[in-house]
Structure 1
Amino acid sequence: MAVRVFVAGGAGMVGRRLVPQLVARGHQVTATTTSEAKLAMLAHLGADGVVMDGLDAMSVNAAVAAARPDVIVHQMTAISPAHSGKPDPKHMDRWFLPTTRLRTEGTDHLLAAARAGGVPHFVAQGFAHWNGSRAGGWVTTEEDPLDLHEGTAAHKLLAALRYLEEAVGRADGVVLRYGGFYGPGATDDALALVRKRQFPIVGNGTGYGSWVHVDDAASATVLAVEQKARGVFNIVDDEPAPASEWLPHLARCAGAKPPMRLPKWLVRLLAGEVMVTIMTEGRGFSNAKAKRELGWQPRYPSWRQGFQEGLA
């Protein structure tokens, strides 16, 4: 059954892949952007575009009220250099501050607008790349806690994700924890570093990560919308893997030389403690629940195939 879908952040990386999939399924889509210059692009994708400031409660309430949606999909982030500046892994708290605010204040504004408008379903973007609990094995499930990396520069952004999950859970919505994105527009910065041999394997590269192509993330979101899913789902591919495996493969697919290997102490000095932890102690995620309960089947079940075919 076709529904009215309000995609907050519809001009973003996932939104640009999600909107056409929703439209192709017959849904009526309203998609937001912070820039009037992107309204034409949203129209081309098949959506009714609207300019909205996710950090302004009045702007959010007005946009949602005008759209009268059946479901709100929260895809608002501000990770691009235009919003957050040059990537700065050593100071993640500063680098991700705009996105942290969108995942706290922005989530509150969207949920308040949903309550005011009687919107019955809420879908939000979460994160499941390297931040699984380090208390257990290398692969974690939705039953395991997220690692908040207390005392590090990553704590505020990870605490914001927990805040989002708890707020959406209280509203009986669903959080889709997307893995590390790759695909059109998703890995440009990383590929540039790989080609310059500035993305090294740290120590033995034992830290695990989980990946997902942006189109697969979008397809899972369509299923969550149509099935009125509740709870938390890891939206990742079938093969969580250590950096020592996926990073050299990424370099080969990018036509680059093999990545250098650097000791932990040097990377700690250059890029900070969080990057060392990610590359040596990170935990990946299982997608079994999403496949079982949503019936989701990623087009790219492994980053091995996906990096080769899905980076263009």
Structure 2
Amino acid sequence: MVMRVFVAGGTGVLGRRLVPQLVARGHQVTATTTSAAKLGLVERLGGEAVVMDGLDAVSVGEAVAAARPDVIVHQMTGISMAHAGKPDLKHFDRWSVPTVRLRTEGTDHLLAAAEATGVAHFVAQGYANWNGIREGGWVKTEEDALDLHEGTAAYTAMAALRHVEDAVLKADGAVMRYGAFYGPGATDDQLVLVRKRQFPLVGDGTGYASWVHLDDAASATVLAVEQKTRGVFNIVDDEPAPESEWLPWLAACAGAKPPMRVPRWLARLLAGDVVVTMMTEGRGFSNAKAKRELGWELRYPSWRQGFKEGLS
């Protein structure tokens, strides 16, 4: 069934992989950008382009009304250099402000526009990387709580993710909890640090991460759109792993020297508590539900394969 799909955030790293996949499946795609300079990019991807300010209710309402979509896909974030500046995890609360606003105000504007125009289905971007509840096992399912990290610089960003899930599930939509993205344009900042040996192992590197290639994240999203899926899904690869495994492999694939190791106290001094928590206490996630209920098949089942193919 051909659908009219409205992709909010169509020129982000995931939007650039999602729009062509939707178009290839025969869907009519309207994709938004915040810059008129990127309208041509959307058109080259096969979509109809529109400039929209996700933090302006009127702008959102007009764009959605004009597109008359069957489904809205919320992929708006503000983590690019243009919106948030150089990544600053030590001051996570300040650096994440653009994304926090898009996940709170932006989500609310899109949901209001969906209700006003009778859009039947809504799919939103969530997150499942290191932020599972820090108790019990190292790998979490959708039944396990996310950690809000109250009292830390990560709290506002984690609370924004909770807002997305609460609001979208109330609207009977779907939240795709993506792992850490890799693929074209997604890890450029990390690779610069890895090659300069400025991305160290912290302590014993026991904190788990979950990765997903952009193309696999996009294909899962296409399935959620086409199947009118409801609920929360962890969109991660088959191999959640501790930093002590994935970071040296990433360095090797990038042709860099092995990462240095720093003690927790020094990492906390240099990079802050959030980074130390990620690298020593983070939890990974299981993709069993997404594979079972969506019929999702990954092109890159493991970051080992994906890093190697993408960087070698």
Measured against the shorter chain, the TM-score band is over 0.9
Q: Is residue 257 from structure 1 mapped to residue 257 from structure 2 by the alignment?
A: yes
C-alpha displacement of 1:310: 3.0
* Cross-structure match for 1:5: 5
* Cross-structure match for 1:293: 293
Contact kept, 8 Å, 1:9 with 1:31, in 2: the verdict is: yes
d(CA) in 2 for partners of 1:23 and 1:311?
Answer: 27
d(CA) in 1 for partners of 2:278 and 2:26?
Answer: 40
Contact kept, 8 Å, 1:128 with 1:178, in 2: the verdict is: yes
* Cross-structure match for 2:49: 49
Aligned residues: 312
* Cross-structure match for 2:16: 16
Contact kept, 8 Å, 1:183 with 1:311, in 2: the verdict is: no
SS state at 1:176 partner: strand
TM-score when scaled to structure 2?
0.99
Q: Is residue 236 from structure 1 mapped to residue 254 from structure 2 by the alignment?
A: no
* Cross-structure match for 1:161: 161
C-alpha displacement of 1:299: 0.5
C-alpha displacement of 1:136: 1.4
Question: What do residues 101-150 of structure 1 show as CA deviations (whole Å, max 9, x unaligned)?
Answer: 00000000000000000000000000001001112100000000001111
CA RMSD, aligned part only? Answer: 0.7
d(CA) in 1 for partners of 2:2 and 2:191?
Answer: 38
Q: Which amino acid aligns with 1:138?
A: W
d(CA) in 1 for partners of 2:309 and 2:100?
Answer: 32
* Cross-structure match for 2:83: 83
SS state at 2:94 partner: helix
d(CA) in 2 for partners of 1:43 and 1:81?
Answer: 23
* Cross-structure match for 1:211: 211
* Cross-structure match for 2:152: 152
Q: Which amino acid aligns with 2:266?
A: L
| Deviation >4 Å, runs of 4+ | none
Q: Which amino acid aligns with 1:209?
A: A
* Cross-structure match for 1:113: 113
Matches within 5 A, 1:111-150: 111-150=111-150
C-alpha displacement of 1:311: 4.5
* Cross-structure match for 1:198: 198
d(CA) in 1 for partners of 2:115 and 2:161?
Answer: 21
d(CA) in 2 for partners of 1:221 and 1:149?
Answer: 27
d(CA) in 2 for partners of 1:131 and 1:76?
Answer: 20
Q: Which amino acid aligns with 1:223?
A: L
* Cross-structure match for 2:33: 33
Q: Which amino acid aligns with 2:222?
A: V
- Cα distance, 1:311–1:26 mapped onto 2, change above 3 Å: farther
d(CA) in 1 for partners of 2:310 and 2:197?
Answer: 21
d(CA) in 2 for partners of 1:123 and 1:27?
Answer: 15
- Could you tell which deviates more after superposition, 252-261 or 131-140? 131-140
d(CA) in 2 for partners of 1:45 and 1:183?
Answer: 17
d(CA) in 2 for partners of 1:23 and 1:290?
Answer: 22
SS state at 2:14 partner: helix
SS state at 1:129 partner: coil
d(CA) in 1 for partners of 2:37 and 2:8?
Answer: 16
d(CA) in 2 for partners of 1:294 and 1:53?
Answer: 32
SS state at 1:198 partner: coil
* Cross-structure match for 1:270: 270
Q: Which amino acid aligns with 2:115?
A: R
d(CA) in 2 for partners of 1:310 and 1:300?
Answer: 11
C-alpha displacement of 1:192: 0.3
Q: Which amino acid aligns with 2:252?
A: R
C-alpha displacement of 1:86: 1.1
Q: Which amino acid aligns with 2:114?
A: A
Question: What do residues 144-192 of structure 1 show as CA deviations (whole Å, max 9, x unaligned)?
Answer: 0001111100000010000100000000000000000000000000000
